[in-house]
Amino acid sequence: MLLRQLKVHHIVFKVTYKNTLFKLSLTSMSINVEYRVLGVMSGTSLDGVDFAICTFKRVNNWEFKIERAKTIKYDEYWKTTLANLHNNKKTFIKKTNINYGKFLAKAIKIFLNNEKVDFIASHGHTIFHQPENNFTLQIGCGQTIANYTKIKTINNFRNLDVMLNGQGAPLVPIGDLLLFNNFKYCVNLGGFANISEKVNNTITAFDVCPVNIVLNKISKQLDLDFDINGKKAKKGKLLQDLLKKLNDISFYKQKAPKSLSREWVEKSITPLFVKKFQPEDILHTFCEHIAIQIGSYLNGKSVLFTGGGVFNTYLMKRISFYSKSKIFIPQKKIINFKEALIFAFLAVLRVRNEVNCLKSVTGAKEDNCGGEVNNPI
């Protein structure tokens, strides 16, 4: 932790007691601590790893800046390995946890190029997320990253909350509350859509529906990594029966807290896509499904949208159609790197031993401060 600013005030009080003059001195310290953190994020959509050097400073409220950021695309080996790792044996998963940590460490060293940061915040890549079984796994060994980079690394942000019977997700809302508090709603369109809503000084949040984890997989049937601007979806036609089946899924009737996972998609969504459907029609229908689900929660005031799904202009038009809120889309750096930014912020809170996971969001027994701190050895 680097101390950037220190103010010391020395005050002298004169007090008379029983005709005797006493001088009382009081020294007060006003400390503004600035943290410089590298946030590392890999999402379920497998488009690559996000790196963001972020600074945070607290005066009255938290302030932040993304100094520099970049997405490093996965090569075919890592795309295939990460996509199929859940089907492998424990021994291979453990080995891959170390190897993926080495991969991240090498990429971090190249990205930093000897720039100094106070610590690294690495989300890792989610392989399993089963909070109902008190189990979640994000690979990318934090100790390996710390050892190879020689920089303190915080990872495994979800585990403690899951151990406390929480969902372990979403974790972004604490950042929405403290860094983006001028918006009533914040929606992130990544592999899944999650939404946070602020009421007074509290926040509730949950996963809404799958987004890119489904759209990108269908796009691959058209030899595309993703549907650029939603052009293929726009050309498709609406499959009414499929739309009804999607909207009738029981998850959407559940109350928060709730979260989604790859396992849930494979069980509840994928079987609905029968072979006779054309990929363009599935894309069109699923975009409508996403828009209906998200729009149903946006009931006025302003909403901040971030995540890769924001660049799907067709999807955003459909969300706007169903939304009753004013949609705000920030600069590209925040669209692309908000999650890396917020996991860097979660690490700051972890180092300060302050709450970084809210029971009002995850349903855990108590607010908690998650994250495993790994010092280089």
- 118 and 183 in a single domain? The answer is no
- 230 and 308 in a single domain? The answer is yes
* DSSP 8-state code for residue 73: P
Query: Residue 347: what residue type?
Result: A
Strand partners, 29: 8
Residue 353 is assigned to a structural domain of this protein: no
Query: Which of 190, 191, 95, 105 shows the shortest CA–CA distance to 150?
Result: 105
pLDDT in tens, the chain (377 residues): 444 544 444 444 444 444 444 444 443 344 458 999 999 999 888 889 999 999 999 988 999 999 999 999 999 999 999 999 999 999 999 999 999 999 999 999 999 999 999 999 999 999 999 999 999 999 999 999 999 999 999 999 999 999 999 999 999 999 999 999 999 999 999 999 999 999 887 899 999 999 999 999 999 999 999 999 999 999 999 999 999 999 999 999 999 999 999 999 999 999 999 889 999 999 999 999 999 999 999 998 999 999 999 999 999 999 999 999 999 999 999 999 999 999 999 999 999 999 999 999 999 999 999 999 999 99
Residue 113 is assigned to a structural domain of this protein: yes
Pairwise CA distance, residues 276 & 267, whole Å: 19
* DSSP 8-state code for residue 200: T
Pairwise CA distance, residues 355 & 338, whole Å: 19
Residue 12 is assigned to a structural domain of this protein: no
Pairwise CA distance, residues 353 & 369, whole Å: 7
Total domain count, the chain: 2
Query: What pLDDT is stored for residue 8 in this prediction?
Result: 41
- 154 and 197 in a single domain? The answer is no
Residue indicated by tokens 């996991």: 343
Range of the structural domain that residue 153 is part of: 35-170+368-374
- C-alpha 90, offset from chain centre: 26
Assessment of whether the complete model's pTM goes beyond 0.75: yes
* DSSP 8-state code for residue 354: -
Whether residue 27 contacts residue 8, with contact meaning beta carbons closer than 8 Å, is answered with yes
- 125 and 248 in a single domain? The answer is no
Pairwise CA distance, residues 10 & 26, whole Å: 6
- 139 and 195 in a single domain? The answer is no
Residue 355 is assigned to a structural domain of this protein: no
Q: What are the DSSP calls for 277-341, one per residue?
A: S-HHHHHHHHHHHHHHHHHTT--SSEEEEESGGGG-HHHHHHHHHH--SEEE---HHHHHHHHHH
- Which backbone phi and psi does 203 adopt, to 5 degrees? -140, 140
Query: What pLDDT is stored for residue 300 in this prediction?
Result: 87
Give the CA distances from residue 293 to residues 121, 148, 195, 253, 286, in Å, rounded to whole numbers and listed in that order: 31, 43, 11, 11, 11
Pairwise CA distance, residues 314 & 146, whole Å: 42
- 119 and 136 in a single domain? The answer is yes
Whether residue 4 contacts residue 35, with contact meaning beta carbons closer than 8 Å, is answered with no
Strand partners, 204: 197
Query: Residue 123: what residue type?
Result: H
Query: What pLDDT is stored for residue 7 in this prediction?
Result: 45
Which tokens hold the place of 110?
């190249």
From its phi and psi, is residue 165 left (phi > 0), alpha (psi between -120 and 50) or beta? left
- 297 and 183 in a single domain? The answer is yes
* DSSP 8-state code for residue 68: E
Residue indicated by tokens 């909350």: 161
Residue 339 is assigned to a structural domain of this protein: no
- 325 and 291 in a single domain? The answer is yes
- 152 and 274 in a single domain? The answer is no
- 105 and 182 in a single domain? The answer is no
- 297 and 197 in a single domain? The answer is yes
Query: What pLDDT is stored for residue 60 in this prediction?
Result: 86
Residue 356 is assigned to a structural domain of this protein: no
- 107 and 179 in a single domain? The answer is no
Strand 125-130 with 135-139, pairing: antiparallel
- Bond preceding residue 257 cis, omega within 30 of 0: yes
Dihedral angle of Cα 211, 216, 219, 225, to the nearest 10 degrees: 150
Residue 67 is assigned to a structural domain of this protein: yes
Residue 275 sits in a domain whose CATH number is 3.30.420.40
How many Cβ atoms are within 10 Å of 251's Cβ, its own excluded?
Answer: 15
Residue 280 is assigned to a structural domain of this protein: yes
Query: Which of 66, 87, 111 shows the shortest CA–CA distance to 343?
Result: 66
